[in-house]
Structure 1
Amino acid sequence: MKRILLGALLLFLSYQLWIFAHVLWWKENNPSETSFMRIRLNELREHNPDAELYHEWIEYEQISNHLKRAVIAAEDGKFLQHRGFDWDGMERAIKKNQQRGKRAAGGSTISQQLAKNLFLSPSKSYIRKAQEAIITVMIEASWSKRRILEVYLNVVEWGDGTFGAQAAAWRHYRTSAVHLSPAQAAHLAVLLPNPRQHERRLPDYAQRYSRVVLQRMPKTSIP
């Protein structure tokens, strides 16, 4: 029994070291793909063997400041203050979910979402959330906030098979990410919780929220 437990512990630690090695490498080098990208590509190729993802990496300076502000305002207002976890936001999300009797709010920070996108899957379980937390700590300890936001904006999904700000800007507005207007940026930001569904039709509540995000943006700081 002890040998089995020791083997499991060594396997766990080896996996964490493998992840941390990637986190350190990606501090200076851009990831060419993520776990979410691989999962989505496999899904697309079940229906079309020739399917490809639409993704183009661009540097931080080539992304509109409007989009940076919009995403922080919409997804993680305390991004510059927290160290990976917004405990107040999590508490609010739990209360909202309890009131509605279902999971209506998440409370995950940009750092947590990035950890999940890079290494994990969309599945929901306590084990996955625990691993997400471990990776979030690794990222926050190793990267600057600027790097976290740069990678997040370049790898997050913004539509069916569309990943990253540059691909999103072209898909939705036929422009480059650097030229996005404040209203366009706010619209893209509110797509993020459910990009494939919302890109077909933005619900009324999301349209209202995009106007709220637009109002928050001038007061939102970016790294």
Structure 2
Amino acid sequence: MNAENGFIVHADSGRRIPFGDLVEDAMALPMPEEPALRPDSERTLTGHKVPRLDTPAKVTGKAVYGIDVEREGMLYGAVRLAPVFAADVGTFDESSVSGMPGVVAVVRVPRGVVVVADSWWQAKQAADALDITFTRTSADTLSTDEINAMLREGLDRTDVPITTLHGEAEATLSDDGQVVEAEYSVPLLTHASMEPINCTAESTEEQTELWLGTQGQDVVRMTLENAMEIPADRFLSTPPF
């Protein structure tokens, strides 16, 4: 028998059983100390170049992203968020932008304010012009040097629990043998999305439909269920492509 594409296949008869149907039986089997691995020559994924099916559309500009969605009568929102994670909105003056072209509303949200307008450009221009202040925090002057110092201090601490222990590292390093040391560091890098973070929502009496790029679909769904009091069976989440 062989494992192929999520199935256990009987070589002689060709009968196929999904992995899922065998889970309970497999859990009752003893765990092998040295499981036999498939030979390299029989592997279909590891060791082989597998083409990305989405690459051509991305490099030619044909891919449809969340930000490409348009709905009839759609309004656009641009947000001004606190520049420091722990900060919040101190004050804001709605009248500073309410007279700008296309502006429909100015809405307070957690840690920021959203300007809603007839177009994205109008919303963004108004959000940038909004008279707003944010609360002060102890992290306002936090620098890369301070972060690096905290990380180094954490590495040198001895009052932390040990989760994994193999061998005798301290004894080995204290021997008279040669010790080679090297230090590597990298700056904080942004885990950025492929498009500006955005979301389009359309809500009716029957359902709410979303178009967005996210890796946390369930979190988004549950948050909106609670915020909008929409039962789970009336919430539809649609991927952009």
TM-score (norm 2): 0.20
- Higher-RCO chain (CA-CA 8 Å, sequence separation at least 6): 1
Kindly indicate which of the two structures has a greater share of residues assigned to helix. Answer: 1
Kindly indicate which of the two structures has a greater share of residues assigned to strand. Answer: 2
